Amino acid sequence: MVEIVKEIATKSVMTKSSLPVGGYSVNPYVGCSHACKYCYASFMKRFTGHTEAWGSFMDVKNWPVIKNPKKYAGQLAVIGSVTDGYNPLEEKYGKTRELLKQLKYSDAKIMICTKSDLVVRDLDILTQMSDVTVSRSINTLDEEFKDDMDQAVSIERRIQAMKTVYDAGIRTVCFISPIFPGITDSKAIIEKVKNQCDFVWLENLNLRGDYKAVIMDYIQEKYPELMPLYEEIYRKKDKHYWKELETDMKQYAVENELPYIDNYLPDGRSTPGKPVVINYLYHEEIRGSENKGTRK
């Protein structure tokens, strides 16, 4: 639960991205109230001076109006790379909506990453923008497991919001991330959402930093039968599970006549009921230097 909220001034909300896809990383907030136990973005505390627990603080950014939005024409702008622009504070502060208004006629390639259903509030703006993708994270259909992992809205609300965005004509991604070995049922999720998304991304659970111990302790407590598997993957660095999952997902795609491609940025819309399934399993092996999203 967020206990500390403060407003901060920043020179710009548009930051050149170090992500493999390049472009700009755009985060209207610092920190995230979803408090996901597996969140890689918790590393941001090293750069912001925050010592509080991840999920207990948030900074609300105030930036000068973007005077020349056309500067970003054709550029990818990822909104929510290390926060969720539609966290609950957005209802009060409206910083993401303010950002979208400023970029409305920029012709930038807008990609929104969220777990929230608040994004549907801004369909009046999003449907008028030239190139928009909304990516929604879903890694389980089990609400109890979801509640163990994060404080974001329910899976049911996420799926309904995905349909609303998709039906509004906006390119939609179901981001199955992070995949928890032995827990996440990727096929069941695809079957649930395949009629309301254009693309499916897959990404492995990558444990590092402080949250590695948190997740391992959780598995030991709630899923002790999976501990040998997690020990193999996260202590011994064995990648057989991910390679077998990749093979299995490719076979599933073939059997269900779903396109399956490697490391691909969404473009256009897919055939209804047949989303493009994308192999993007190896989070820790994505190259950053070439900005191509290819694996080592």
- 87 contacts 97 by C-beta, under 8 angstroms: no
Reduce the DSSP state of residue 290 to 3 states and report it: coil
Residue-averaged pLDDT of the chain: 90
Whether the full predicted model's pTM is greater than 0.95, yes or no, is: no
Question: Omega of the bond prior to 178 within 30 degrees of 0, cis?
Answer: yes
Instruction: Classify residue 106 as exposed, middle or buried by CB count within 10 Å of its CB (0-12, 13-18, 19+).
Output: buried
Spell out the domains of the chain, with CATH numbers in brackets: 4-285 (3.20.20)
Least confident stretch, 64-73, 98-107, 182-191, 276-285: 276-285
Distances from the Cα of 77 to the Cαs of 80, 95, 131, 218, in angstroms?
9, 15, 10, 35
pLDDT computed for residue 22 by the predictor:
75
Give the end-to-end CA distance of the chain in Å, rounded to a whole number: 38
pLDDT tens figures, 52-111 = 776 778 899 999 999 999 999 999 999 998 899 999 999 999 999 999 999 999 999 999
Instruction: Identify the three-state secondary structure at position 34.
Output: coil
Predicted pLDDT of residue 41: 64
Give the residue from 83, 68, 161, 148 showing the smallest Cα distance to 116.
Answer: 161
- Sequence length of the chain is 296
